[in-house]
Amino acid sequence: MKAVVLITGASSGIGSALAKVFAAHGHELALVARRQDRLEALADEIAATGRPQPTVFTADLERREAASIIAAELSSQGLEPAFVVNNAGFGLRGEAAALPRDEQLAMIDVDVRALTELSLMFVDSLARHRGGILNVASVAAFLPGPGMAVYYASKAYVLSFSEALHRELAERGVRVTALCPGPVPTEFQARAGGMASNAAMRALELSAERVAQIGYDAFMAGKRVAIAGIGNRLAVSLMRLVPNALILRLADQRPRGAGGAQ
C-alpha cells in the first residue's frame, strides 16, 4: 500500500493551500471534496510543479457513509493514509433558534462527526507510518459565539478532541495537532452568510497560504496546538483574562439591532 496524505475540503481555501504545502515537501496526496472540477484543477496545478499527480475523489461529508466510502476508495487504489488532514467544515451565521435546524445538524455532521470518524478510522495506518492527524479548528474554539453558536461549539469540540488524541496517540508515534486560524479571506465567509467584520478582525487576517504553512510547520514539529499568527495568539491569551460576560458581547456575530453588540 502506498502512503498518502488524505486532505478533506481540499478544493479551496486553507485545504487547497495545505495540499500545496504538503506536496511541496514531497508528500503524495489524496484529495477529497465535493467539487470534482476544482479537485482536478488543483491536482493538475500540483503535478505541473513536478510533484506526483494527486489522487482525487469526491465525497459529501454530510452523508453518514462518507468516511467508509473514502476508506474503500483509498483501499481500491492501493493507498493508505500516513497523515490525515481534516479541513472540511462550514459555518452558518444567525441565531441558533432561527437558523434551519437541518442545516445546523449538517454542520455538526461535517465539522464534528466526520472529523471524528476520519481521525479514528486510520489510526493503525498512521501508526505504521509514524504519521499523524492535523485537525483544522479555529480561534473560535476558545470562546462562545452568539450568532454562530453551533459553529463555535463545533470548533471547541475539535480543539478538545485533538488535544486529547495528542496525548492518547503519542505512545503509538502518532502526532496530532489542532490548527487554529483566525479570520482568513476564503469562500467560508460566503457560505456562512457573511461574517461580522471590523478593523480589529481585519488586523488579525492571514492568507490561507500563510495559515497552511504555519499549520504544516507546527504539525511536523509535533505541536499540540498551533494558533496562526502573533495577533491571534495574543487575542487568545487576552481572552483568558476577560470575563465571559464581556467575551459574549465582543464575540456576538448577530447584526446590530438583533441583540448583537451595540
Give 76-115 pLDDT, tens digit per residue. Answer: 999 999 999 999 999 999 999 999 999 999 999 999 999 9
The better pLDDT of the pair 206, 194 is held by 206
CA dist., res. 63 & res. 67, Å (int): 9
Catalytic annotation, residues? 151
| pLDDT score recorded for residue 248 | 83
| pLDDT score recorded for residue 195 | 52
Residues 6 or more apart whose CB falls under 8 angstroms from that of 220 comprise none
Is residue 135 over pLDDT 70?
A: yes
Tell me the chain's radius of gyration from C-alpha atoms: 18
| pLDDT score recorded for residue 199 | 59
Is residue 172 over pLDDT 60?
A: yes
| pLDDT score recorded for residue 200 | 59
Using 50, 70 and 90 to split pLDDT, how confident is the model at 262? very low
| pLDDT score recorded for residue 255 | 66
| pLDDT score recorded for residue 252 | 83
Tell me the average pLDDT across 126-130: 98
Is residue 191 over pLDDT 70?
A: no
CA dist., res. 13 & res. 187, Å (int): 7
Beta strands across the sheet bearing 132-136 = 55-58, 29-33, 2-8, 79-86, 132-136, 175-180, 225-227
**126 touches 83 (CB < 8 A):** yes
Mean pLDDT of the chain: 91
**Angle of the 101-108 helix axis to the 149-169 helix axis, nearest 10:** 20
Dmax over CA atoms of the chain, in Å, equals 57
And the C-alpha cell for 213? 504553512
The sign one gets for the Cα dihedral 77, 128, 3, 175 is: positive
**Cα of 21 vs its chain's centroid, Å:** 15
Using 50, 70 and 90 to split pLDDT, how confident is the model at 24? very high
Is residue 251 over pLDDT 50?
A: yes
| pLDDT score recorded for residue 259 | 44
Is residue 117 over pLDDT 70?
A: yes
pTM over the 0.95 mark: no
The better pLDDT of the pair 147, 203 is held by 147
Q: How many CB atoms lie within 10 A of CB 130?
A: 11
The answer to which of 155-159, 169-173, 255-259 has the lowest mean pLDDT is 255-259
| pLDDT score recorded for residue 261 | 32
